[in-house]
Chains A and B, each alone.
Chain A
Amino acid sequence: MLALSIFPLVFSLGLTFTNVNLFRRVPLRFVGLENWARIFSDEALLETLVNTVIFVGGGVAIQYSLGLALAVALNRGLREQRLMRVLFLLPMMVSPIAVGFIIGRMVFSEGFGPINDMLGALGLPAVAWVTSPGVAKLTIILVDTWQWTPLMMLLILVGLQGIPGEPIQAARVDGASEWQIFRHIVFPLLLPVSITAILIRALEAFKIIDIIRVVTGGGPGRATESVTAYVYNVGAKQGDLAYAASAAYVLLFVVIGVSFLALYVMRRVQARYE
């Protein structure tokens, strides 16, 4: 575990102080803080950082709400719930490559996609899923949500199993409504699991790249490029590994900052219920 985690971390950190380049044969040289100085005047990095925060914030909020609703709906003892649990898990099992190509590219295609076709049949105007900067961001979030809401549902469903039945039955005897039971008993008890689910999903979402590369290619312009996609472009396409590592570290700092903040806020919410 230590070898798997520390070595890459130190290795990447070391890279940020060098001029290592994949394509240009230049003698290895330590450049001090040159890469780090570049970071602060890099507007492209800032833009991709803002995009990433939009994807994570928007995507995770929608996925958590839907996942919570699905998990609760599938824990009420409906006859079909066992079949439906498996059914709703399916999207996360579909390979992200296929999700990007077949769903992101074909289903949302502006020319030959079924969504615009069906909108047309209903007399609605076609939507510029990938060519409008604003809508393209939404498309990325929608595809991400389709794939990853099941994970939220799975983790919350697991959490629901550990909730004791007695307080719920007692509240029901006292005449509490289903909504009151959810709001004051179930939801507070789900908070620890919710924190885990949100954190897990957010950490993965911060690294979003596959869907973007396939569906929009980061465009139009830079409207849907994420930091990871930017790091990939700089490192693997332009070969500037040293600067790519520096940009990756910026993302790491942002993610650590956001995680601390999110954990702090969620613990405060939790403390209010205890």
Chain B
Amino acid sequence: MKGRLITRAFLVAAAFVTLFPIYWIVITSFKTQLDIVVNPTYLPWVDFMPTLEGWRWLLTEARGDVIRAITNSLIVSGGSAVIATMLGAAAGYGLTRFQYRWRFWRNEDIAFWFISQRMLPPVAIVLAFLLMFRWLSLLDTQVGLTIAYTGFAIPFTVWIMRDAFAQVPLELEESAGVDGASAAGIFFRISLPLALPGVVGSMLFAFVFAWNEYLFALMLTFQEATTVPLLLASRITSFGTHWDQLSALTLTNLIPAAILGIMLERFLIRNRTEGSLK
């Protein structure tokens, strides 16, 4: 099995490249400021003495801020991921199953219009958001940030779900229709379950996008609704960077997202549609 061997060698190499920087974040969270900026050191107890300073800061002084930021991040990211995926699924399904016409607009043009929403640099639109949100009293609220992130994620979820539904065989839907299933029944019981990997991919994408977004969180929140990226950025000051605290916070921030990844991974497996067609 030469192919398997090459695959494994490739995966091991990729795993090293993927994990080394994360390992670096882990050991940095246990280093003193001096250990960090003098020489690279690799192994705790061997070439540097680990310290719990960064983690102590995280669990004592910063505890309230950390808990609030993570709660906000979870609500905003989870909310926008679910809403954006639902709307994306609805729009994606429509774009693959029906032909729309409005003047010279066709499905392709509608899809392109969706994705074109992500083309302007964020710095160019953030000011408009600031004005709009102030006018709507949405500044510094979880709802406001959720709306903004949902809007940003929808263009992508539409495209991801459009591809996912395009791969669901039409024959299955038609035979369900012949058997007397309603349009809603077909969508929820046939198409959506078969497009589940797409739903999961779209949710993960939208969640991670909101989870780590910085610029809009900075401009649209200031106290109550601040998210983890803002707390991370606060560790980088004009007097220097608190590397240990930054690293500890980064890992704390990574854990919920990783747990979500572990929970959703099982739904990324192949649907066995072959048998159902016969």
Contact = CB atoms under 8 A, between A and B. Distances in A.
Interface in A192-248: 192-193, 196, 199-200, 203-204, 206-207, 209-210, 227-228, 231-232, 235-236, 241, 244-245, 248
A12 interface: yes
A95 interface: yes
Contact of B159 (A69, A91, A196, A204): A196
Range of interface residues on chain A? 35 or more
A249 B127 CA distance: 15
B164 A8 contact: no
A207 B124 CA distance: 11
Interface string A233-268: 001100001001100110110011001000100000
Interface residues of B, number: 89
Interface string B171-197: 000000000000000000000000101
B37 interface: yes
Nearest to A92: B208
B232 A117 contact: no
Contact of A157 (B15, B39, B247, B268): B268
Given A90-B258, A106-B36, A192 B208 contact: no
A7 interface: yes
B241 interface: yes
B121 A251 contact: yes
A82 interface: yes
B164 A158 contact: yes
Interface stretch (B21-29, B49-57, B59-67, B99-107): B21-29
B32 interface: no
Contacts of B243: 101-102, 106
A35 to B, nearest CB: 13
A165 B265 contact: no
Nearest to A14: B128
Contact of A102 (B21, B204, B205): B21
Contact of A98 (B38, B121, B198, B250): B250
Contacts, number: 243
A9 B119 CA distance: 11
Interface in A81-122: 82, 84-99, 101-103, 106-107, 112-114, 117
A114 B24 contact: yes
Given A8-B129, A98-B250, A106-B36, A86 B265 contact: yes
Interface in B191-213: 195, 197-198, 200-201, 204-205, 208, 211-212
Nearest to B207: A93
B250 A8 contact: no
A106 B24 contact: yes
Contact of A203 (B115, B129, B168, B200): B115
A78 interface: yes
Interface in A40-87: 66, 69-70, 73-76, 78, 82, 84-87
Interface in B9-52: 10-11, 14-15, 17-22, 24-25, 28, 36-40, 42
Given A89-B261, A94-B250, A162-B197, 19 more contacts: A5-B117, A70-B11, A85-B268, A87-B15, A90-B18, A90-B261, A92-B208, A94-B254, A95-B228, A95-B229, A97-B214, A97-B236, A98-B25, A102-B250, A112-B36, A113-B40, A155-B205, A162-B271, A259-B116
13 contacts: A73-B7, A90-B18, A90-B261, A91-B18, A93-B261, A95-B229, A102-B250, A112-B36, A155-B205, A162-B163, A200-B160, A210-B214, A248-B120
